[in-house]
Amino acid sequence: MKGVQRRSVLLASGAGLIATGATTAQAAKAEAATAQAAAGDGRGGHAPDPAAVLDWNRALLRIVRTAGAQPATVHPTRSFAMLHAAVHDAVVSVLGGQPYRFAFPAPHGTSAVAAAAYAGHDLLAALYPAHLPELDAVLSARLATVPSATGREGGARVGNLAARALLALRADDGSDATPPTLAPGTAPGAYRPAPPAFAPAVFTHWPAVRPFVLHRAGQFTVRRYPQLASAEYASATNEVASLGQDSSTTRTADQTVQARFWAAPIWNYLNEIAQTVVLASGADLPTAARTFALLDLALADGVIAFYAAKYHFLIWRPVTAIQLAGTDGNPATVADPGWNPLASTPADPSYPGAHSVISQAGTQLLRESLGDYPVTVTSELLPGVTRSFQRLQDVADEAGRSRLPAGVHTRLDHESGQQLGASVAHFARRHAFNGR
């Protein structure tokens, strides 16, 4: 098959009709060069390979890494969760199994590969219409591996229904709300915008976004932040004051690399790690679809959960804590008005740590779903730099702890973040596919 026949896709978002067409874009060549041939439709024989799932994960990673492509007030983990939930439900509709939410009748001869390909295409076309040529190219490359016209046609029907259903399900989830303005704190320990930009807090509306699997954003308790006068608080603050300063002499060269290596959006890393683990495990299409759906549903809910906790506790960032240590009532901390962190401080409260939540939830689910595998991770920010790990838990530990030498989190943030991430992962694994 040389191209995708022109067709119209009715978007559940109300955007109307989008015509998709054949394209010879370079992205098609890139996808075709790396794609594996899909083996049949999975009915009555061995299940097809996971390439159709990986296609769309890679495509979405390219999109969210494109400047200006992601709406500033919509967290990208929402898109990953919607994408992989739609692909999963399309595959389940053809091959059987428990859906995330929807299962649709699949005509006889429907290709699961085509269903996954169309579900990913139509979902992302609705969310990122400006990227339609690239999405068309990815679809065309994948459909070229499906020899049956009947299989392609059935896949188009099932995939479109799955995409439309997910779009309708999330249409009123609160993600399009205007983020409320957060007044800066004034009391010791209270969050306020951090220097040097003093940017206002971001994603202040995200605790009100409806979760994908969790019952509510604050379902899991994060332990109460210690008193500022406590030895525990002083120890954690002083550790970062020494380790995370831009001019630190106690931070090792490798800790500096870690701080810079992991500074990009952590969910991007987890999705790439998932690609590695899926391929290493030899997972077939339904296993890959389920794994990515479980991963990204949990990561999306992890983000909702950690923002709920961050905006509940409203704890100041290390740079504020150290510069204003003279106000914390703790004789074991010393104010340093000129202290600055190695990395830029994110524009949200410190407790719990986002990297720790997401890396723990993601690696835990991958390990429980497919087993433990050694992985080599490539940095999004340091060209050509990789780090290798024998265990997935080692990834979570380093990614979370890297925020200490970066100077943007304390050990308190990291430990509470891992606790929250583990809780979200545990719940998602048991409840993501109940079809409710």
The domain tally of the chain equals 2
Q: How much is the mean pLDDT over the chain?
A: 91
pLDDT digits (tens, 9 = 90+) for 374-403: 999 999 999 999 999 999 999 999 999 999
Question: Which pLDDT does position 32 carry in this prediction?
Answer: 33
Q: Are residues 307 and 407 in the same domain?
A: yes
Domain boundary among 117, 151, 169: 169
Please report whether residue 397 resides in a domain. yes
Provide the percentage of residues in the chain whose pLDDT is more than 90: 88
Where would I find the H helices in 262-353? Answer: 266-281, 285-313, 318-323
Q: How many residues does the chain have?
A: 436
Q: Are residues 51 and 141 in the same domain?
A: yes
Q: Are residues 115 and 244 in the same domain?
A: no
Please report whether residue 187 resides in a domain. no
Rounded mean pLDDT, 293-302: 98
Question: Which pLDDT does position 48 carry in this prediction?
Answer: 84
Q: Are residues 261 and 404 in the same domain?
A: yes
Question: Which pLDDT does position 368 carry in this prediction?
Answer: 97
Question: Which pLDDT does position 11 carry in this prediction?
Answer: 38
Residue 175 has pLDDT above 50, yes or no: yes
Q: Are residues 276 and 333 in the same domain?
A: yes
Q: Are residues 159 and 286 in the same domain?
A: no
Higher pLDDT, 39 or 53: 53
Please report whether residue 196 resides in a domain. no
Question: Which pLDDT does position 20 carry in this prediction?
Answer: 28
Range with the poorest average pLDDT among 37-51, 112-126, 172-186, 303-317: 37-51
Residue 15 has pLDDT above 50, yes or no: no
Question: What distance in Å separates the CA atoms of residue 174 and residue 208, rounded to the nearest whole number?
Answer: 7
Rounded mean pLDDT, 304-317: 98
Question: What distance in Å separates the CA atoms of residue 413 and residue 418, rounded to the nearest whole number?
Answer: 9
Question: What distance in Å separates the CA atoms of residue 436 and residue 433, rounded to the nearest whole number?
Answer: 8
Rounded mean pLDDT, 343-371: 98
Q: Are residues 148 and 216 in the same domain?
A: no
Question: What distance in Å separates the CA atoms of residue 185 and residue 351, rounded to the nearest whole number?
Answer: 15
Q: How many CB atoms lie within 10 A of CB 246?
A: 11
Q: Are residues 141 and 235 in the same domain?
A: no
Q: Are residues 307 and 216 in the same domain?
A: yes
Q: Are residues 28 and 99 in the same domain?
A: yes
Q: Are residues 60 and 109 in the same domain?
A: yes
pLDDT digits (tens, 9 = 90+) for 268-288: 999 999 999 999 999 999 999
Please report whether residue 296 resides in a domain. yes
Residue 33 has pLDDT above 80, yes or no: no
Phi-psi region of 96 (alpha: psi -120 to 50; beta: other; left: phi over 0): left
Find the CATH number of the domain harbouring 315.
1.10.606.20
What residue numbers bound the domain in which 143 lies?
Answer: 12-169
21 falls in which pLDDT band (50, 70, 90)? very low
Strands 16-20, 7-11: pairing kind: antiparallel
Please report whether residue 195 resides in a domain. no
Please report whether residue 174 resides in a domain. no
Residue 53 has pLDDT above 80, yes or no: yes
Strands 386-389, 16-20: pairing kind: unpaired
Rounded mean pLDDT, 297-308: 98
Please report whether residue 260 resides in a domain. yes
Q: Are residues 122 and 255 in the same domain?
A: no
Domain boundary among 169, 191, 226: 169
Domain boundary among 122, 140, 169: 169
Please report whether residue 64 resides in a domain. yes
Rounded mean pLDDT, 19-43: 36
